[in-house]
Amino acid sequence: MDKLSPTVTEKSVQSSLTTETGSGNNLVTSGVVVDEAVDSREKNTIDSGFKSKLRNLKSKLGVEEIGIERVPEDERKQEGMYRIAMLWLSANLTAPTMAIGAAAIPTFGLGFVDAALVIILVNLVGILPVCLFSALGARFGLRQMVLSRFYFGYYFGKFAAVLNIITLVGWTVLNALVAAQIIHALNSSIPSWASILIVSVASLVVALIGHTVLQVFETWASIPCFVAFLTLLGAFASSNKFDSLLPLAVGQSETNAIFSFSTAIYGATSGWCLCAADYYVYQPADRPTSSIYYTTFFSLAVPIIFSQLLGLAIMTPYAYDEDFKGAYDTGGFGAVLAHILVPLGGWGKVCLVLFALTIVTINSPPIYSVSFSLQLISRRTERISRYIWPIVTTVVYVILAIVAYDHFATWLGNFLVIFGYWVAVYQTISFGEHYLFRRGKRGYKPDEYQDDTRLPKGWAALAGTVAAILGTVLGMVTVFWVGPVAKALGGVDVGMLLAFVLGGVVFAGVRMLEKIRWPREDESF
């Protein structure tokens, strides 16, 4: 049997117009059908041409197409750990990292010695969870929030993804505010919104293209970052304004400040665990775990501790130098950098520009990662390509940063502490599942990440999260709320500790009941 032609030929058109059967209305209708068919064919040709050009452009730029799906072992790149190390180095050798250390004096009221001890000790502990999730990302080829399905379950994992979106967007807002302060201190005629927009668009370009460009950019960006840091260190050292003997807080006030600052430091550093696996999914699955642990640990510890200690050191004049104090109170941390570097002349201004651009290195990774959390929310968001979501994220955090520009100190202190609380909740559930019920990395079957029948029900994660949040509310200390437990202890912020304890105990108990209530054959958890 002959096949009917799918196209409309001139002969068929003429035939339809000259046929004597049917009424005049039919003749008109035939013509309209032909016109619509031709128009539809032309539209499809245009669409096909546009899509072809878009594919070619993405191919030339090397845009990453893979979203939340697992990266198979045979598609992994045989790349070394050097680029991973440089990514961590560049993303943490930044002005916002310094600003966190600097906050110890004006925001938390600590002296140099006690704040320095907190920075060193808490960071060394906070990096360990990042190492764990980095190793799991390389082992299984799963993004961090996809990996979270093995802890929170398929459906409650969506809620974890939403909280992760809020956290990562808040983090990018904080970083953008530091960039705006630096640029404004360099040239006050540039409005804050323009400063925020400049660094945000630059960060977007890197995050939009994806994994390969992200690693290459971070590798080369680390060089000017390091030069700017050395210049700042030399300029401040030559000013003879460093004072390591600032009066220490004493008694209850010191205890309160140390706990609050520890929460902020832990959250800022350990917060990388919320997206750590994302940067390791292309690593070979047989990469030795020890190699990943050591590389991740030292490439995080060195820049974070160095940056935060330097930020702390350059803020010591805040306690006795009125000009210095005025610079911070009116222009934030960016004005402090300008106060130190502008006297160097042209080179000092170049270094200020470099410090502003470090925001690109610290914002690009979370903007890249937030797209995977957005894809996990629903089937509809999953169908939207990975490279579209960084654009949406950038628009949102630019608006928030512009609104929050005049409230930097409040945003810094409160957000860092709340950030630490969410990190505590996430780690409580994740560690409980990983160590108690999966007994380490051998308890995973990574191909089951899409099968809700093979994943935890999520009730234990829900109960543990509620308990952990309750713990934070009872023990937190912020401008807008002081928990009853914190009040009873004289204002000590024990929100993170209570989150770990209450969340861990409740999760473990309910998880055992969950396994008894819903036993599964050949269960992977």
Could you report the per-residue pLDDT of 61-98, keeping only the tens digit for each? 667 778 899 998 887 876 778 889 999 999 999 999 99
Distances in whole angstroms, Cα of residue 434 to Cα of each of 34, 140, 147, 190: 63, 14, 11, 49
Cα–Cα dist 144/141, whole Å: 10
Cα–Cα dist 181/133, whole Å: 34
Cα–Cα dist 345/359, whole Å: 23
The reported pLDDT for the residue numbered 18 is 45
End-to-end CA distance of the chain: give it in Å, rounded: 57
Residues facing 482 on adjacent strands:
477
Cα–Cα dist 448/434, whole Å: 16
- The residue count of the chain comes to 525
Reduced to 3 states, what is the DSSP secondary structure of residue 482? Answer: strand
Distances in whole angstroms, Cα of residue 209 to Cα of each of 57, 67, 404: 11, 12, 28
Reduced to 3 states, what is the DSSP secondary structure of residue 442? Answer: helix
The reported pLDDT for the residue numbered 1 is 44
Strand locations in 312-456 (E): none
pTM over 0.75: yes
The reported pLDDT for the residue numbered 242 is 85
- Residue 295 tokens read as 């590389």
- Residue 272 tokens read as 């990388």
Question: In this structure, are residues 224 and 90 in contact, taking their beta carbons and an 8 Å threshold?
Answer: no
Q: How confident is the model at residue 15 (pLDDT cuts 50, 70, 90)?
A: very low
As a whole number, the mean pLDDT across the chain is: 85
Could you report the per-residue pLDDT of 299-350, keeping only the tens digit for each? 999 999 999 999 999 999 988 888 888 989 888 888 999 999 999 999 999 9
Side chain identity at residue 397, one-letter code: Y
Among 11-25, 309-323, 441-455, the range scoring the smallest mean pLDDT is 11-25
Question: In this structure, are residues 493 and 417 in contact, taking their beta carbons and an 8 Å threshold?
Answer: yes
Could you report the per-residue pLDDT of 345-388, keeping only the tens digit for each? 999 999 999 999 899 999 999 999 999 999 999 989 988 888 89
Question: In this structure, are residues 479 and 413 in contact, taking their beta carbons and an 8 Å threshold?
Answer: yes
The reported pLDDT for the residue numbered 81 is 87
Distances in whole angstroms, Cα of residue 200 to Cα of each of 269, 361, 402: 22, 11, 11
The reported pLDDT for the residue numbered 490 is 87
Q: How confident is the model at residue 14 (pLDDT cuts 50, 70, 90)?
A: very low
Reduced to 3 states, what is the DSSP secondary structure of residue 129? Answer: helix
Please return the burial class of 359, using the count of CB atoms within 10 Å of its CB with bins 0-12, 13-18 and 19+: buried
- Kindly report the backbone phi and psi dihedral angles of residue 434, in degrees, each rounded to the nearest multiple of 5, phi listed first: -65, -50
How many CB atoms neighbour CB 59 within 10 A? 10
Among 122-126, 226-230, 284-288, the range scoring the smallest mean pLDDT is 284-288
Cα–Cα dist 378/169, whole Å: 19
Q: How confident is the model at residue 430 (pLDDT cuts 50, 70, 90)?
A: very high
The reported pLDDT for the residue numbered 24 is 45
Of 292, 331, 299, 304, whose CA–CA distance to 182 is shortest?
A: 331
Residue of higher predicted confidence among 19 and 517: 517
Cα–Cα dist 328/347, whole Å: 22
Could you report the per-residue pLDDT of 453-467, keeping only the tens digit for each? 889 999 999 999 999
Exposure string for 186-202, b = 16+ CB within 10 A, e = fewer: beeeeebeebbbbbbeb
All structural domains of the chain: 67-409 (1.10.4160.10)
The reported pLDDT for the residue numbered 255 is 84
Side chain identity at residue 400, one-letter code: L
